[in-house]
Chain A
């Protein structure tokens, strides 16, 4: 069964304290792994797409990496405005079926 598991469920960091979020996936034939950011009361905001193992993408303080079994979202020197829930998703068996993890709720304290 296609599955996405994110860890930790919640992460509290001090401003400037770098860390990583994990997304483990099980899917038959990866056709894209996606990272989103979701703020309370809002829709998910697209961050990155990764297609093949070894691929990396960067945007400001965020860097996403991909292996054959998992993806990491590295946050370097986070700021309070990086506080949000970060979601990971992969395409499942059918063409339009994005499977989401439950997310990691990140809190960055000043």
Chain B
């Protein structure tokens, strides 16, 4: 059973360009989450999606950032007009359907390391 897959693993962009990060969840998982990790800082939640729906985007900057999880294909995190401060590791996680009062663990991909020149 393949784990969470992310590509590319490394992405270099110049200021003002667009970055597209892709995430394929584990088989059977219908929930996808995106997190950002800055050097010396903890993982910060960005957005939570189910197929064709954004459930919670409270951690995502209002401008330049968007996310989608279409009916077919991977989830995409899109950053428009990147700036140097966007340089970070971006992790995707997935979990199975939530049932009951407790919540399931999230399984993480290897991350995409974005460098903005």
Contact = CB atoms under 8 A, between A and B. Distances in A.
Nearest to B98: A95
A96 B105 contact: no
Given A51-B102, A96-B31, A96-B55, A43 B42 contact: no
Contacts, number: 69
Task: For chain A, give the interface size range.
Answer: 20 to 34
Given A44-B91, A44-B108, A103-B42, A96 B33 contact: yes
Contacts of B31: 96
Contacts of B35: 98, 100
Nearest to A42: B110
B109 interface: yes
B36 to A, nearest CB: 11
Contacts of A34: 105-106
B71 to A, nearest CB: 19
A97 B103 contact: no
B28 interface: no
Task: For chain B, give the interface size range.
Answer: 20 to 34
A87 B43 contact: yes
Please report whether the interface of chain A is mostly helix, strand, loop or mixed according to DSSP. loop
Most chain B C-beta atoms within 10 Å of own C-beta, residue among A31, A49, A96 = A96
Contacts of B1: none
Interface string B39-51: 0011111001000
A32 B98 CA distance: 12
Contact of A32 (B42, B102, B107, B111): B102
B101 A31 contact: yes
In the A-B complex, the 9 residue pairs with the closest CB atoms: A96-B48, A43-B108, A100-B43, A102-B42, A100-B42, A44-B108, A94-B56, A31-B103, A43-B110
Given A91-B103, A96-B55, A100-B44, 5 more contacts: A42-B110, A44-B91, A46-B106, A96-B33, A98-B35
